[in-house]
Homo-oligomer: A and B are copies of this chain.
Amino acid sequence: MVSLTDGQKATLSPEAIEFLTNIHHVPFAQILAPFIASPRRVPELRRGLVEKTAPGEAALIEKYGLVVEVVNIAGLSVAIITPANVKPEKQNKLVFNVFGGATIMGSPRDRGALTMAAELGVRVCSPDYTKAPEGRYPVARDQCLAVYRELIQKGLPGTSHSPSAPPVPINPADMYAMGSSSGAQVLVSMLLVARREGLPMPTAGLYLCTPALDLSGAGDSMTFNARDRDIMPVSLLTTMVTQNYVPLPGVEVDGMGFGGTTDPLYSPLYADYGNEDGAAPWFPRTVMTVGTRDFALSHGVRFYWKLREAGVEVELLVSEGMWHGFNWNPKVPEALTARVAVV
């Protein structure tokens, strides 16, 4: 249960207060986490999330006249979300979206993808990567990379929006990329590998929403926002990841052994974003959102300084009293403010 003092309520919208005071945490999360988040229980967790989110997603599709289609790119199902009115200056633009869900849950046509298509007036392309435990690290990253590579090299296949149009390679300068929560881990890891491969970056802008970028457990907010401040106890989230997503012992990753939880591709906060002396930064312009109640506050804070020191154009938007994943809340004004600030 999330509790709020009068001083905390004074700086929140009524909608945010209602949201927070209606959060009910699993009791004894720290003790029960290994059972709740065991691989056997994952299908049930996924069903629970779908039940909770489906009505909101249907409402968004209806309200904004969004068209959701599935195409095959690089052998993977990919959701293409087309807004009723693509803004004229955004006809050629595309958001490459990596959904989140603690690595084990979530959907390529989730609230985040739908909201961005609707509010930004731009098409969203969202790979339906294999979630954990069926796909442990780096399966999702490699699947997303294959889709990204094909978009850049071959283009987007035809949809009902332009059924007869042959695929045209997407100009990286027209591509935004977006990752929420664990989706940001997949996305930034993907960009690091794309860079090694010599692929161009999505330079229209990178948007990381309450990003999970350090899966080692480090960070100030991983302690102070761990229990009764965020939407979920951190112990539950970390157990989801350690029991389902971490490579199994002895499995090769990227042609070598797994480098542990601070491996710079597994926890992209430990990677190097610098460039040769004098060269322009290679990492795209980045906007991040975090909340002060968010377990990922420290992830955002640390990644901000890391990118800044590498000369990358970066902005960190910290929102008062906001929680993990708050960006996509349709009712909370603080979320709308953060979304407006991105565009």
**Chain A residues packing against B (C-beta within 8 Å):** 5, 7-8, 10-12, 216-224, 229, 292-293, 297-298, 301-302, 304-305, 308-309, 316, 318-321, 337, 341
Contact check, B216 vs A10: say whether CB atoms are below 8 A apart: yes
Known: A7-B219, A10-B216, A11-B219. A298 touches B316 (CB 8 A): no
Interchain CA distance A41-B218 in the complex, whole Å: 41
Contact check, A221 vs B318: say whether CB atoms are below 8 A apart: no
Partner of A229 from the list B5, B8, B224, B297 (CB cut-off 8 Å) is B224
Contact check, A301 vs B305: say whether CB atoms are below 8 A apart: no
Contact check, B341 vs A293: say whether CB atoms are below 8 A apart: no
Known: A308-B341, A318-B304, A318-B316. A223 touches B298 (CB 8 A): no
Contact check, A301 vs B320: say whether CB atoms are below 8 A apart: yes
For A217, give the chain B residue with the smallest CB separation.
B7
Contact check, B302 vs A222: say whether CB atoms are below 8 A apart: no
Residues of B near A302 (CB, < 8 A) are 11, 320
A104 to chain B minimum Cβ distance, whole angstroms, is 22
Which residue of A10, A220, A223 has the most chain B CB atoms within 10 A of its CB atom? Answer: A220
Partner of A337 from the list B305, B316, B320 (CB cut-off 8 Å) is B305
Contact check, B305 vs A8: say whether CB atoms are below 8 A apart: no
Interchain CA distance A8-B295 in the complex, whole Å: 12
Interchain CA distance A42-B280 in the complex, whole Å: 54
Contact check, B298 vs A220: say whether CB atoms are below 8 A apart: no
Residues of B near A229 (CB, < 8 A) are 224
Partner of A218 from the list B7, B305, B309 (CB cut-off 8 Å) is B7
| 6 A-B contact pairs sorted by A residue (CB < 8 Å) | A8-B219, A8-B220, A11-B218, A11-B220, A12-B220, A305-B337
Interchain CA distance A319-B318 in the complex, whole Å: 12
Residues of B near A309 (CB, < 8 A) are 337
Contact check, B308 vs A301: say whether CB atoms are below 8 A apart: no
List 12 additional contacts besides A10-B218, A316-B316; criterion CB under 8 Å: A5-B223, A7-B223, A10-B219, A12-B220, A219-B320, A220-B293, A292-B297, A292-B301, A298-B321, A301-B318, A304-B318, A305-B320
Interchain CA distance A224-B5 in the complex, whole Å: 10
For A337, give the chain B residue with the smallest CB separation.
B305
Interchain CA distance A309-B317 in the complex, whole Å: 13
For A219, give the chain B residue with the smallest CB separation.
B11
Known: A292-B298, A292-B301, A305-B337. A222 touches B7 (CB 8 A): yes
Interchain CA distance A57-B179 in the complex, whole Å: 47
Interchain CA distance A305-B304 in the complex, whole Å: 18
Interchain CA distance A12-B223 in the complex, whole Å: 13
Known: A298-B292, A308-B341, A341-B308. A320 touches B8 (CB 8 A): no
Interchain CA distance A301-B293 in the complex, whole Å: 12
Interchain CA distance A252-B240 in the complex, whole Å: 60
Residues of B near A219 (CB, < 8 A) are 7-8, 10-11, 320
Known: A218-B11, A292-B298. A318 touches B318 (CB 8 A): yes
Contact check, A220 vs B318: say whether CB atoms are below 8 A apart: no
For A12, give the chain B residue with the smallest CB separation.
B220
